[in-house]
Chains A and B, each alone.
Chain A
Amino acid sequence: MHGRPRKAPKPEEEAASVAKAQKLRALQTQFFSFHHNKIYTKEAVELSAKLLEINPESYTAWNYRKLAVEHYLSQPDCNPDWIKSVLDDELRVVENALRQNFKSYGAWHHRKWVISKGHSSIDNELRLLDKFQKADSRNFHAWNYRRFVAESMKRSEQDELKYTEDMIYKNFSNYSAWHNRSVLLSALFEKKAEGFLSKEKVLPEEYEFIHQAIFTDPDDQSGWFYHLWLLDQTVTTDSPLLASSWPGHGYDVFLVEDRCYNGSAFSPFTALHSDSGSFPIVLYFNQPVGGVSSSTVTVECGFNKNEDLLWKPLSASNSQTARVWVAHLKIPSSDLLSTVEVSVGHSKGIISTRGFEYSHPSMFSFKVHVQPMERDFSQVSVAESISLREENFKIYGSQSEESIINSFNQLSIKNGHESTASNWRSEALAKEIECFRELLSLMDCKIGKLTLARLLMAYDVMSYPFANKLVHSEEVLELCSDLMKLDPTHYQYYKDEHSMVLLQKVTSSKESLLQHCFQYKDSVSSAICGPICLRLNNLSLSRMGAFEKLLWVQMLDLSHNELQSIEGLEAMQLLSCLSLRNNKLRSLTALEPLRKLKLLRVLDISYNQIGDHSIDTTRYLCSSPLSHSVGSESNKDETVTSDVALIDNWEAFYIFKDFNLNQLEIVGNTIADEKFKSVLVKIMPKLKQLDGKLLG
């Protein structure tokens, strides 16, 4: 069935197909007249059968037959025998149609519909399926229908599992069979069926099974797909977990209204400047969850009522599930030292997208210090101008090593929940790693290298809480670099993986992270010391990641990388100053994640490729801003949108209108001409500095 080259039709074949088309057209015309006049006589119904046997793709004819069946069944003199004969007729027509084309969606669907009526014997169906699955063992229509039949018959998953095994033994190059196996195993795990109580027992056997296929023929893709599913089953814990939060447990959070912190008084890692009268609490889960609210998360503090807190998901798609959730605590205007306790998941309701309940209730607490405003706020801000130039950074120094380490230690959130349960998981991974190292010692194999990289990463992540470092990151980076050379078609994918691993590595230990922490010190301004700036510049990153470890970052330098997307950056709620200078951002819509950063004041997107390409391809990849988010919000700005210049630049309007920027650098992008800049000034009235020029 597969891998047959298409041949050009011979003249006589073409003639035959013309004749067939003519016949079909005549049938169709007649059929439509019956259909529109709701004629369900024997002749009319037989005509539709004829039509379907020639062209099983005629959906209208299938629907007509459904109507005809309903019509017959609604007759007053209808008895069970007659119903059965009507439905048997339908099954016969479907079978004939399937002989013509066994991949006809309409025909398989019609069969399901007839069987669902419950008057036909289902036993026949398995026999029919055996025939079709013999003719083409990978026919996914047949496999799909098989699942339906098995369920209707209440055939046990164990029996079906045996069937997939038999099919796989006949020819293991069968995606459908492997897929069905994963579906059946998932069902058995969920049911906690006998022998399938724990993945711990079943998965190693499945690994053993798939190794036979992968080692026998590593060039066959079907086995690798199943292996990927197994890896996912091994790595993913069913119930979601809280990966990190801001503030973390035991933090001392200093809220100040002045950017000029006194370094000796509080840690630069946890001091926060806020001019909005509130500060965020960020929850970062290990997988997307829904149901985070004031009833599932309790925040106890002296200055806010829990019920008043509004938890919002931070996701690009505006769905009600996200890995990151945020709520804002209002800052009281008086001097304050208060302890805040956050309990997550003590009452039910937080549920992963796969339907698993958050089952490890956790609690963390931190202290908040508030200093009341001493100076006129606006005065200070005007004078300030932040310039992320090399000379303004000092490597975060040795002068107060101990305090740094102490405050730095606060940043990691310990999570001991899975420590005992995941023993078998890391054992399974270790075994897999050994296995694929062996395969690669035998032969060069791209997917083998990728799989080994994935395994090593998964193993490192799993053992991180114990080892406290990523043992294999150098090897994984090497594998990724190797793959970029070996498989240029998927260069970008490997590059992204490389970036993620590199970021994991940088953030994995305090030593490595500290190398990227700089202190911002403006040479002109009088400020002695500013916040910590995390500089991840010049790393040739194509993607940003490791957000769970970077929630504390307020100043981030991502300049001189190869970023095309900054997906996920919305998690970094504390960001006030961001440089994306000299990257490969190609459109304004790529800046979408920044809209959710309410504290962002300084943004540098100079020297990117915004406007280079007249067609913004990201718009096709992401959900269209017009169809979703814009609709409701844009109404209130009707006066603005009536401006012609803004309508022409609706993208700019949509992206920038929610920004609270003081300072923007956009020079070096095709889009950034004078006209565009004037539009920006219009959109962002609060903007004080554009491309280094103070705005009046």
Chain B
Amino acid sequence: MDDIPPYPPIDPTTFDLIVIGTGLPESIIAAAASTASKSVLHLDPNPFYGSHFSSLPLADLPSFLSSHSTSPSPPHSPSSDDPNEFSLLEFATRPLYSSIDISTFSPNLLDQHSRKFNLDVAGPRVLFCADKSIELLLRTGTNQYMEFKSVDATFVGDNKGNLWSVPDSRAAIFKDKSLGLVEKNKLMRFFKLVQGHLAGEQDVKISEEDLQSPFVDFLNKMGLPPKIKSFILYAIAMADYDQEDTGVCRDLLKTKDGIDQLALYNASIGRFQNASGAFLYPIYGQGELSQAFCRRAAVKGCLYVLRMPVTALLVDKDTGCYKGVRLASGQDIFSQKLILDPTFKVTLPLGSSPPLPLKEKLPFFSLKDDKGKIARGICITKTSLKPDISNFLVVYPPRSLFPEQVTSIRLLQIASNLAVCLPGMFVLYISALCNDDDQGKKLIHAVMNTLLTVPLDSESNAAVQSETAEIGSAVQDETSESSSGGPSDSGEEKPTLLWSALYSQELTLGQVDFICSTPMPDGKLNYNDLIDTTFKIFQEIYPEEEFFPETSLENPEVDGDASPET
């Protein structure tokens, strides 16, 4: 990235919109604006598409993470006022990732094949078969650039390493071996109640009072046993925080929202004939989504320049209004509007007083969100966590691994049939919301220790071991015994860890102002909230324009059949 290839100057030099960064929100906006016949320049300092939503080769992931982990360098010498009418405000990068911890236990194997891996930076993430992302793909025709496969099941994990299948449908309840008859009856009746309510059946209407009350209270009122409550709250409604501890819960789910989540889940199961589960995962990884929208934008005339860092913002000297950007190549490009990747922020030169109008906007630039962090982990193994099934989701509800665990931990296993790793290998994505890096590490390690064998011959293993000791009572420590015997084919054996990357990510929200900034990947399992935010940003910059009007379908003969391959 250091040696910028000599690009020919960009022509034209004026656009309606400049978008910096090719993450999913930026790519969608670029595609939407292009579709609305705006002239768009889409830049990315990286040599690949996707920014913080990309899927990267194994060797590239650590460097990407660390390049975004350094504190912003103090601004260069006060920006020399150009002879023209603009002030220059230099871009600085935000530290978005911290506490990066890469461990390799099988260096030869992985290094040789680094390019065979497509590791999601923002995993675990899936598409619900009936969620907004699928609707958007179908509406924009972007689905023709992608292929999907089904994530076949959801499990709930416990601290003994067991994975319990989530009875998320009538057939699954029937088949389930862990639920008692009474539990099956109660759960199915609850599902029927919700279905009846959603279908508008008069006699099964859930009262407005109940709809506004916390979902967990409603589940209690329905007499659902704790096990089922936990399934519904964390493995179907995908709540992040302990719903029964209002002291720590930051996302107390209302019944209304809980029911909407159930409806989404329910509508997702069986929507596509080839998808047996509720979720889809794109072949070649989540980065494909950003790329698909970029292709879509390019078809509509958007201009793409990768490997092109941007150095400074051009602001009108008198009014303080945004005018354009200065590229690393030295060229100045002008536009009406600018969309910024969350990587960048604008720092004001020390001692200089910014133009008045900009001063008023300053809170926007210095706004530090208080949403906390998300801890992420990527693990590579040679055996599946569960025999006979390769692509699935595991949820560890709050306090299922250790008493201080107040957030859900989600794990997504993706196999090589989705072209994300070497044949026969599996990639595990783990994430959990946390307040700080230490708490995040503890959460991710708790899952790893429950499910995986971590080989001893690594430096970072010591850290893992000590974490285990801290977590203490709840987690069984079998690591040392099981790894000493060398590889074993026994079905009881936990999969051995080959490689892992642990890191914390800032949860920067999208911001809408005279310059708009897109959000970082959130802590959710799907893209719904991100798409909502993206839509809002688009509306803000183009209030007159429709967001992908219906007629924008490129190939009318594509009948919206997004059924995934199997």
Query: Which residues from chain A sit less than 8 Å from chain B, CB to CB?
Result: 169-172, 211-213, 215-218, 435, 438-439, 442-443
Contact = CB atoms under 8 A, between A and B. Distances in A.
Interface in B341-391: none
A435 B181 contact: yes
Contact of B170 (A217, A435, A443): A217
Interface stretch (B156-164, B185-193, B289-297, B401-409): B185-193
Contacts of A170: 171
A179 to B, nearest CB: 18
B181 A215 contact: yes
Contact of A442 (B170, B171, B175, B186): B186
Contact of B184 (A169, A171, A216): A216
Interface string B85-104: 00000000000000000000
B171 A215 contact: no
Interface string B176-202: 000001101110110000000000000
13 contacts: A169-B171, A169-B174, A169-B175, A171-B170, A212-B174, A212-B181, A215-B188, A216-B170, A216-B184, A217-B188, A442-B185, A442-B186, A443-B189
B173 interface: yes
B175 A215 contact: no
Main SS at interface, chain A: helix
Given A215-B182, A217-B174, A439-B185, 14 more contacts: A169-B175, A172-B174, A212-B174, A213-B174, A215-B181, A215-B184, A216-B173, A216-B174, A216-B185, A216-B188, A435-B181, A438-B182, A442-B182, A443-B189
Interface residues of B, number: 12
A211 B181 CA distance: 7
B332 to A, nearest CB: 62
A352 B181 CA distance: 38
Nearest to B223: A442
A218 B184 CA distance: 11
Interface in B12-70: none
Contact of B171 (A172, A211, A218, A435): A172
A536 B163 CA distance: 63
Contacts of B173: 216
B184 A212 contact: yes
Contacts of A169: 171, 174-175
Nearest to B177: A212
A217 B77 CA distance: 73
Given A216-B188, A217-B188, A171 B182 contact: no
Contact of A443 (B171, B174, B185): B185
Contacts of B181: 211-212, 215, 435, 438-439
B185 A218 contact: yes
Nearest to A438: B182
A212 B181 CA distance: 6
Nearest to A208: B181
Contacts of B186: 442
A181 to B, nearest CB: 15
Contacts of A211: 181
Nearest to A217: B188
A562 to B, nearest CB: 34
Nearest to A223: B174
The 6 closest A-B pairs by CB, nearest first: A215-B181, A215-B185, A216-B174, A216-B184, A216-B173, A215-B184
A215 B185 CA distance: 5
A212 to B, nearest CB: 5
Contacts of A438: 181-182
A215 B181 CA distance: 6
A367 B188 CA distance: 64
B353 to A, nearest CB: 71
Contacts of A217: 170, 174, 188
Contacts of B182: 215, 438, 442
A439 B186 CA distance: 10
A224 to B, nearest CB: 14
A215 B184 CA distance: 6
Contacts of B189: 443
A233 B174 CA distance: 23
Nearest to B189: A443
Contacts of A215: 181-182, 184-185, 188
A419 to B, nearest CB: 32
Nearest to B180: A215
A251 B181 CA distance: 52
Interface string B391-419: 00000000000000000000000000000
A172 B171 CA distance: 7
Contacts of B175: 169, 212
A31 to B, nearest CB: 38
Contacts of B188: 215-217
Nearest to A169: B175
